[in-house]
Chains A and B, each alone.
Chain A
Amino acid sequence: MDFETPKENYSGKIIEVTIGATPEEGGTRSHTITIGGSTSPPFHFFEGKHPHPPRVAMEVFDKVPNKYPHSLMEYYRDVIEKPADMAKKCVEQYGAELISVRLEGTHPEKGNKSADEAAGIVRQILESVKVPVIITGHSHFEKINEVIKKVCEITAGENCLINYVETDNYKTIAASCIAYNHTIVAQSPIDVNLGKQLNILLTDMSFPAERIVMDPLTSTLGYGLEYTYSIMERIRNDGLAGDKMLAFPMLINPGYESAVVKEARASIEDNPDWGDQELRCAYWEIATAMSLLASGAELLIIYHPKAVEVVKNKISEIFNSKKGS
């Protein structure tokens, strides 16, 4: 029996989603970023097209998170309180391809910043960096609906990625995104069906499919990573098999999710066999990011500069193999 490369037929194609808008397109970004478009499983160049590599974003904050790991602080101490400067540093020094601004400070329990304050911060960031921007919210629906509405308005035309809506609050935010031309993240709790349901609800309200990114909810390494991993594989397989309501690019958050676990913070003295804490903090993000890249992640929000560097480097290494196939 002669060997023959076993290729599979995938009838589906992951939808191409573009984030950001250049001045010609009505925004102020120097360039846009497109993800999606693959016609085979992650990095299977031998049996499909992968026009766009996965992209790495970094995150800045309107309010310094309580649990920001000590070893990350070393990199950002000078800018952590100044999100526009931090964004600049992330892009220029650490190679962030997009900037996410997390508006946790607008949460009524965590600072209760006003929608206008949030809009001001977003505006500063749009001025300080020219890469596409992600606006990341929180789970206090009432407040975040108000904040996002305002932010959508003042960033009209920028095609920001509005992160995120859930089944219980999608309508208001989705309507703002339609009105002001933004892209949306549809988040659902580690379940193929719940994810698909939200996508159906969004498209049923005439939300354009090419402006939806899915967030299957990231569980970090050691904290349920395997659930996220398998749900993403199932979503991607179904999407490639022709299920249009699952054929969306996926966003994951290794940074945020890894920063809060004890592995990113506990010292080596407490756990000698866990190894060096500074390294571990980056490793946790790397292992999470690399495994989820294998299961279909296309947009990754990473915190540790070292992890950003390595993950970006690996993505381009993998894409180098594209030529030969």
Chain B
Amino acid sequence: MALSGLDIFKLLPKTNCGDCGVPTCMAFALKLAQKKAELSECPHASEKAKATLGAASEPPIRLVKIGGPPSLEIGNETVMFRHEKTFFHPTGIAIQLLCSKEEKKLLKEIENVESYKAERVGEELNADLFFISQDSADRDSFLKTVNITKQNSTKGIILDCSDTENLKISLEVLKDDRPAIFLREKLTDEYVKLAKTSDSSLIITADSFEDLQSQSEYAKSSGLNNIILNMNSQNLGYQLQNSTILRRSALKKYFKPFGFPLFTFIQAEDSYDLLAKASLNLCKYSSIIVLPKYDKAMLYALFTLRQNIYTDPQKPIQVDPKVYQIGEPTPDSPVFVTTNFSLTYFMVSGEIENSGISAHLIIADAEGQSVLTAWAAGKFTGETIAKFIKEINLEQNVRTRKIVIPGLVAQISGDLEEKLPGWEVIVGCQEASDIPAFIKSVRIT
């Protein structure tokens, strides 16, 4: 149960001794409430405080690691809605490899994933796991695929194999690689043993919540902790509702058997269908999504969605500070400047585009803060803007000597003109939506 700062404060010594490194007990209590500190940092904490806070700090959804190092970490989520705090561990995307395929094709598929290289807002986008399925009766082909994958990739591996003997051998091959085992059938003693000896995570599958609970409890009582839950359903509506019920049970009811990350294998008619299903599952609580098909454009959209949904809403995304070309600007096109808070950038660039003109948009480094916040904190001032403009050699690249600043910081115009000799500073509008009208009404070149 989450305790408020005031609840926690009441458990602390109230001496304001500062031994925890924070000036007051109340400040420390708030840090504890926000999980930015540990109770152990207070040398004077009472036993009662330790007991109460200890129970409150146990994660309701277990963190599970696959592969690595570095491993894919999933779980440890604390909220139903990202705006309540954030989603911590992005969904792992797994690509299915069918061992019935010939070696050349497999190598090509692995190579495709390994060589994939897309970047968005400074983050490298890629798949995280391979999901190796034994789809033929040929035992050796599974082992061969596991070996090929291990040799050609550093990504974590999920083994989908109903042949326990084969599984055992594969797990030996992967003994230091923290794999996961996907069970198509009920959990048995044999799988428990395999998972335990190989230190693998176990993806348990059930057709009903009751069945899932009993398997989860069985695994737990057998000493397994790294469990991932899979409800067997291919209907998108059920997937969404099942995942919601499982997550809510764990977070709101502290229902231990469901306090684990969730798994979804997507079956789809085509890539469009695949993306649609994967998108919904990604938003609604799947920690692992397995895609039976590799499609660059589809992956790019899915990765972008993952980045969006898993962005910490409390930490705004920053865009790279640099000059952005809107349309096809010439050296005489107008110059606008704003901060590198992503939403600010999207809105301003969008509205300049809407106005139909071409322009240079300077995105100055304001640590991702919005215009007013950055200004108040001294991160978006005449001085910082002028310095940035010099750093990027703007004066060599444009002929215009007029620069439009956001209307919210009209105050800095004098200062900026002082720091940028030869430039005329034009105070723009306050809201991005007024940019097209502003451009029509004011001469900015």
Contact = CB atoms under 8 A, between A and B. Distances in A.
Contact of B241 (A43, A225, A260, A280): A43
B42 to A, nearest CB: 33
Given A225-B305, A318-B237, A233 B81 contact: yes
A284 B301 contact: yes
Given A43-B240, A229-B283, A274-B118, A109 B436 contact: yes
Given A279-B271, A314-B280, A221 B297 contact: no
A181 to B, nearest CB: 29
Interface string B290-308: 0000011111111011011
A204 B237 CA distance: 38
Contact of A307 (B272, B298, B299, B350): B272
Contacts of B275: 283, 286-287, 290
Given A3-B258, A45-B237, A275-B295, 16 more contacts: A109-B356, A222-B120, A223-B350, A226-B82, A227-B343, A230-B81, A237-B81, A260-B350, A275-B297, A279-B271, A287-B304, A290-B275, A294-B240, A310-B272, A314-B273, A325-B241
A284 B305 CA distance: 9
Q: Which of B237, B295, B343, B350 has the most CB of A within 10 A?
A: B237
Interface in A1-15: 1, 3-6, 8
- Interface bracket on A: 35 or more
Q: Which of B235, B300, B302, B346 has the most CB of A within 10 A?
A: B300
Contact of A226 (B245, B252, B308): B308
Contacts of A41: 244
Interface string B207-218: 001100100000
A226 B311 contact: yes
B9 to A, nearest CB: 29
Interface residues of B, number: 64
B36 interface: no
Interface of A: 1, 3-6, 8, 41, 43-46, 66, 109-110, 139-140, 189-190, 219, 221-227, 229-230, 233-234, 237, 260, 263, 271-277, 279-280, 282-284, 286-287, 290-291, 293-295, 306-307, 309-311, 313-314, 317-322, 324-325
B248 A283 contact: no
A269 B190 CA distance: 51
B236 interface: yes
A102 to B, nearest CB: 13
Contacts of A325: 241
5 smallest A-B Cβ distances: which pairs?
Answer: A275-B297, A321-B237, A275-B296, A318-B237, A290-B279
B237 A229 contact: no
A226 B279 CA distance: 13
A6 B249 contact: yes
Interface of B: 81-83, 116-118, 120, 209-210, 213, 235-238, 240-241, 244-245, 248-249, 252-253, 255-258, 271-273, 275-277, 279-280, 282-284, 295-302, 304-305, 307-309, 311, 313, 342-343, 346-347, 350, 353, 355-356, 433, 436-437, 440
Contact of B298 (A3, A45, A271, A275): A275
A234 B83 CA distance: 8
Nearest to A140: B437
A273 B116 contact: yes
A317 B236 contact: yes
A3 B284 contact: no
A3 B440 CA distance: 63
B297 A279 contact: yes
B296 A46 contact: no
B91 to A, nearest CB: 12
Contacts, number: 179
6 contacts: A41-B244, A222-B307, A230-B82, A274-B300, A284-B301, A291-B283
Contacts of A276: 296-297
A240 B74 CA distance: 30
B251 to A, nearest CB: 9
Given A66-B356, A230-B81, A280-B300, A318 B236 contact: yes
A233 B83 contact: yes
Contacts of B280: 290-291, 293-294, 314
B241 A286 contact: no
A288 B248 CA distance: 25
A113 B298 CA distance: 39
B273 A313 contact: yes
A260 B353 contact: yes
B213 A3 contact: yes
Given A3-B255, A43-B240, A273-B118, A229 B271 contact: no
A275 B301 CA distance: 10
Contacts of A225: 305, 308
Given A3-B257, A290-B280, A310-B273, A222 B436 contact: no
Given A44-B244, A273-B300, A314-B277, A321 B356 contact: no
A261 B199 CA distance: 46
A59 B235 CA distance: 30
A325 B242 CA distance: 11
Contacts of A5: 209, 245
A280 B301 contact: yes
B233 to A, nearest CB: 8
